[in-house]
Amino acid sequence: MEKRPRSFYVLAAFFGLFLLFLYGPTLTIAILSFQGPQGGLTFPMNGVSLHWFYDLFEEQAVGDIWGAFRRSFALGLIVMVVTVVVSVMAGLAFRKRFAGSGVLFYLAITSLVIPSILISLGVGLIFNQLGFRVHWSTSGLGSQLTWTLPFGLLIMFAVFNRFDKSYEEAARDQGATAWQTIRHVILPIIAPSLIGVALFGFTLSYDEFARTLLTSGSYNTLPLEIFGMTTNVTTPVIYALGTLTTLFSFGIIAVFILTVWVLGKRRARFGSDAGKGV
């Protein structure tokens, strides 16, 4: 193997520092969440305990975080399913130019770049003026979709830009209907990317803050609850919560990545099952 240039080591060191910068603070609060009962928000550690994790389970200490977690989880799942379905449908539609496709594309880009607080404010105003109550499962859901759908759509564009159309044409030549082609040829081929879209849908919703702020109503989602805590909780219990929810996110991400990996392995071993359906 060719010898590595000196620039490699400089850049590798830079990359290492970047990773430290990315993960260092999170590791710090993970360590600090094991503070002893008398410990404060910074080092030194005042003993080591699980005190602050126990604290999380006592409702009166920190408000309704478990309810908030359940709502965020449910909302994340709903957003995930809607994002996948709507992105795939739109991605398929966008492969051919149709009247208005340009406008719709720029709407999606606008949805991505618009300051989140505008969505929050606008949706909140509409619901108020129409006399509807804002609720996380209605106004909150819609507001979050304006954030997750553009990502889903962009991923679908990337997928279909690389899609080999000859599979599809082969299916059509063999007499498959449009729906059969989608169901037995296109969807199996793009399945791993759909898991990616699902990952975006769930995690972006689960952590969304600004667009949910004025649209979730009286029942907070988890990020809103955590933000509320930052103003009135001055103990490491907030680190314990941060550590738990970050671990939860890592778990979710790991599940998604493993699924993609396993799919890839299976595909390498058995070949794609695209076209094997009847």
Partner 1 sequence: MRITNRHLIGWLGASPLMLILLAFLVAPIVMIVIVSFWGATEFSIYPDFQFDNYAFLFGSPVTYKVFFATFKYAVITWALTLAIGFTVAYFLAFHVRSQSVQIALFLLCTIPFWTSNIIRMISWIPFLGRNGIANQTLISWGVIDQPLEWLLYSDFSVILAFVHLYTLFMVVPIFNTMMRIDKSLIEAAYDNGATGLQTLWHVIIPLTKPGIMIGTIFVVTLVMGDFITVRFMSGSQKANVGRLISNDIALLQYPSAAATAVVLLCTVLLVIAILLRFVNIRKEL
Site residues (CB under 8 A) for partner 1, limited to 15-74: 15, 18-19, 21-26, 28-29, 32, 41-43
Cα(250)–Cα(244) distance, integer angstroms: 10
Residue from 20, 74, 81, 158 binding partner 1 (CB under 8 A)? 158
Q: Using alpha carbons only, what angle is made at residue 271 by residues 267 and 277, rounded to the nearest 5 degrees?
A: 105
Check the CA dihedral 83-188-199-147 and report its sign.
negative
Which of residues 142 and 275 has its CB atom nearest to partner 1 in the complex?
A: 142
Work out how close the CB of 134 gets to partner 1 at its nearest, in angstroms, rounded to a whole number. 12
Peptide bond into 44 cis (omega under 30): yes
Residue from 3, 38, 60, 113 binding partner 1 (CB under 8 A)? 113
Under the binding rule (CB under 8 A), the answer on residue 230 touching partner 1 is yes
Which of residues 65 and 149 has its CB atom nearest to partner 1 in the complex?
A: 149
Q: How many residues does the chain have?
A: 278
Under the binding rule (CB under 8 A), the answer on residue 145 touching partner 1 is yes
Cα(271)–Cα(253) distance, integer angstroms: 26
Question: Which residues have C-beta within 8 Å of that of residue 88, sequence separation ≥ 6?
Answer: 156, 187, 190, 194, 197
- DSSP helix/strand/coil, 11: helix
Under the binding rule (CB under 8 A), the answer on residue 153 touching partner 1 is yes
The string of DSSP letters for 79-100 reads HHHHHHHHHHHHHHHTTS--TT
Work out how close the CB of 149 gets to partner 1 at its nearest, in angstroms, rounded to a whole number. 6
For residues 88-107, which are near partner 1 according to CB under 8 A? 89-90, 92-94, 96-101, 104-105, 107
Number of residues in contact with partner 1, rule: CB under 8 A? 90
For residues 188-227, which are near partner 1 according to CB under 8 A? 199-200, 203-204, 206-207, 209-210, 214, 223, 226-227
Under the binding rule (CB under 8 A), the answer on residue 132 touching partner 1 is no
Helices (H), 94-133: 101-113, 116-130
Work out how close the CB of 136 gets to partner 1 at its nearest, in angstroms, rounded to a whole number. 14
